[in-house]
């Protein structure tokens, strides 16, 4: 199976910014998790194409078009969430409305995240009309790994071991979906 892994944001678009207990821009966390996700998915026998491997600007349409040209079987966009409240927390996975295969992939990934991180809030599977979900020709999911605006979760997201564990959970969900 061919998987397109998208590290959300980048370049002139830093994404969300967490500031407490230190400052971190979302694009940095997304790329770190995406790189680990690439290794984990390849370790399960699948092929991976990355939308970006460095801090560069890519439009949302360019990301979807890249996956379409690549002929991916699944598109996975990696993100960290943000909210006005510093106490919002949890993980959630989005798919495009009406995409049965996308919904199934989202549920497989959500289940792996919830199982491997039982002390984190499970915000469930949700539908969204995000450009990268709408414009891809294959099933697509967008994973919100945690909230950068929550002080404890910001620390969690910046630790390499947690980034690896997040990537492995997502990869296992991808693999389970591929074998469906």
Rg of the chain (C-alpha set) = 15
**What's the pTM value of the predicted model, to 2 decimals?**
0.98
Q: Give me 46's structure tokens.
A: 């699948």
- Sign of the Cα torsion 154, 63, 39, 101 reads positive
Residue 102: the pLDDT is 98
Q: In what order do the strands lie in the sheet with 2-7?
A: 47-50, 2-7, 74-81, 140-147, 91-95, 122-127
How does pLDDT run across 39-76, given as a tens digit for each residue?
Answer: 999 999 999 999 999 999 999 999 999 999 999 999 99
How does pLDDT run across 132-177, given as a tens digit for each residue?
Answer: 999 999 999 999 999 999 999 999 999 999 999 999 999 999 999 9
Residue 42: the pLDDT is 98
Mean pLDDT on 9-14? 98
Phi-psi region of 26 (alpha: psi -120 to 50; beta: other; left: phi over 0): alpha
How does pLDDT run across 66-122, given as a tens digit for each residue?
Answer: 999 999 999 999 999 999 999 999 999 999 999 999 999 999 999 999 999 999 999
Confidence class for position 28, pLDDT limits 50, 70, 90: very high
The answer to whether residues 82 and 148 touch, using CB atoms and an 8 Å cutoff, is: yes
Give the domains, in start order, of the chain with CATH numbers. Answer: 2-18+33-178 (3.40.630.40)
Task: Tell me the residue ranges of DSSP E strands in 30-154.
Answer: 47-50, 74-81, 91-95, 122-127, 140-147
Distance between CA 166 and CA 153 in Å, rounded?
13
Using DSSP bridges, classify how beta strands 91-95 and 122-127 pair: parallel, antiparallel or unpaired.
parallel
């Amino acid at each position: 199976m061919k998987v397109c892994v998208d590290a959300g944001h980048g370049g002139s678009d830093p994404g969300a910014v967490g500031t407490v207990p230190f400052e971190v821009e979302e694009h940095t966390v997304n790329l770190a998790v995406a790189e680990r996700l690439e290794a984990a998915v390849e370790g399960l026998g699948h092929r991976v194409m990355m939308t970006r491997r460095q801090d560069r600007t890519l439009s949302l349409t360019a990301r979807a078009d890249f996956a379409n040209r690549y002929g991916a079987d699944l598109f996975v966009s990696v993100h960290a969430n943000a909210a006005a409240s510093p106490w919002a927390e949890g993980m959630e996975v989005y798919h495009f409305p009406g995409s049965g295969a996308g919904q199934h992939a989202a549920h497989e990934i959500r289940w792996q995240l919830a199982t491997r991180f039982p002390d984190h809030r499970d915000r469930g599977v949700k539908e969204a009309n995000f450009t990268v979900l709408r414009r891809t020709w294959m099933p697509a999911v967008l994973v919100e790994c945690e909230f950068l605006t929550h002080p404890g979760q910001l620390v969690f997201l910046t630790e390499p071991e947690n980034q690896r564990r997040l990537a492995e959970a997502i990869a296992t969900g991808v693999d389970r979906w591929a074998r469906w």
